[in-house]
Amino acid sequence: MTRAKNRFKLFRKLIVYKLKSRHRKGFGIHSPAIFSLVNKGFSEDCDISVKIGATAYKQTLKRVTKSIPRSTFGAGSLLSPNTKPTTPAAINREIGISKKHGELLYKLSTFYGRDGILELGTGLGSATYYLASGSPTSRVITVEGHRDYAETAKAVLEQIGITNIDIRVETFTNETKRIKEENGRLGLFFIDGDHSYTPTLEHFKQCTEIGTEDAVIIIDDIHWSDDMDRAWKSIKEYSSCRVSVDLFRFGIIFTNKKLQKQHYTVRY
């Protein structure tokens, strides 16, 4: 599918989401824990220090002027098969998290990051910044297949004083397998790469295998393509998915078995 067709489809899906989404302040959500997240977490503004840090991250990244090749990992690289080297800041503008969703990640990290965080898809580290800032005493493991991206992210985040990150240059599958073999257990996951059907289901399943009993899994771009729509639909049917929250861009899955199975489409 061409990029223009994909954008048009995405726009149509966004209109449907705007019409269907509810629970803006959490009203109608039965689970107290999820009510409090939507009612309080989603609406509260982010700490000013987090906003200042995000600006420092961008400025520091801009100062890295050496061009690097674009990643060939994942479905995004198939849609725009441009591997021409460019600056990390330019690449980050294409793949990095927006301010609005970065701040949401920060809040989700403050709520659920206590038992450790795993991000699949570091890119240049923009989302890693928000995840690590939300839980400064937790370890954030972040996995990136492209060495140049990983090394740049590490250098930039360290320069702005983010120290609780552990960047691993590996494929998502190999790294999650390794964590499982080491009996690692983590509480919050952010899947942000390889956005196609089979890999998304596979990575989701791998995250549930290394998640704590109340793990929360965030998936980015759940409506980005027909493939991702299908993946989101399949994941919601899994028994490991107890509550799902569709925010259009992010899908959030709560895996705690004590929760009654329920699906929400929340206006964000």
Residue placing its CB nearer to ligand SAM in the complex, 144 or 246 = 144
Residue placing its CB nearer to ligand SAM in the complex, 31 or 122 = 122
Report the alpha-carbon distance of residue 113 to residue 131 in Å, rounded. Answer: 8
Among 46, 89, 97, 167, binds ligand SAM (CB under 6 A): 97
Beta strands in the chain (DSSP E): 117-120, 140-144, 165-169, 186-191, 211-220, 243-246, 250-254, 262-265
Rounded alpha-carbon distances, angstroms, from residue 202 to 176, 191, 199, 234: 10, 11, 5, 11
Q: Among the candidate windows 42-50, 54-62, 139-147, 260-268, which touches ligand SAM by CB under 6 A?
A: 139-147
**DSSP 3-state of 151:** helix
Q: Among the candidate windows 40-48, 82-90, 92-100, 155-163, which touches ligand SAM by CB under 6 A?
A: 92-100
Report the alpha-carbon distance of residue 8 to residue 12 in Å, rounded. Answer: 6
| DSSP class per residue in 36-65 | HIIIIITTSPPPHHHHHHHHHHHHHHHT--
CB of 261 to ligand SAM, least distance (A): 29
Per the listing, tokens 């206590």 go with: 114
Residue placing its CB nearer to ligand SAM in the complex, 173 or 262 = 173
Q: What are the structure tokens assigned to 135, written together?
A: 């839980």
123 near ligand SAM, rule: CB under 6 A: yes
Pairing of β 165-169 and β 140-144: parallel
Residue placing its CB nearer to ligand SAM in the complex, 33 or 169 = 169
Q: What are the structure tokens assigned to 188, written together?
A: 């919050």
Residue placing its CB nearer to ligand SAM in the complex, 103 or 194 = 194
88 near ligand SAM, rule: CB under 6 A: no
Asked whether 131 and 53 are in contact (CB, 8 A), the reply is no
What is the side-by-side order of every strand in the sheet holding 117-120? 165-169, 140-144, 117-120, 186-191, 211-220, 250-254, 243-246, 262-265
Among 74, 88, 187, 211, binds ligand SAM (CB under 6 A): 74
CB of 236 to ligand SAM, least distance (A): 22
Residue placing its CB nearer to ligand SAM in the complex, 170 or 229 = 170
134 near ligand SAM, rule: CB under 6 A: no
Interface with ligand SAM (CB under 6 A), residue total: 22
Q: What are the structure tokens assigned to 34, written together?
A: 């999820």
Q: Among the candidate windows 31-39, 137-145, 209-217, 241-249, which touches ligand SAM by CB under 6 A?
A: 137-145
CB of 259 to ligand SAM, least distance (A): 27
Q: Among the candidate windows 14-22, 47-55, 57-65, 123-131, which touches ligand SAM by CB under 6 A?
A: 123-131
Plot region of 118 (φ>0 → left; ψ -120 to 50 → alpha; else → beta): beta
Considering only residues 144 through 203, tell me which ones interact with ligand SAM, judged by CB under 6 A: 144-146, 149, 171-172, 192-194
Question: What are the residues binding ligand SAM (CB under 6 A)?
Answer: 71, 73-74, 76, 95-97, 121, 123-124, 126-127, 143-146, 149, 171-172, 192-194
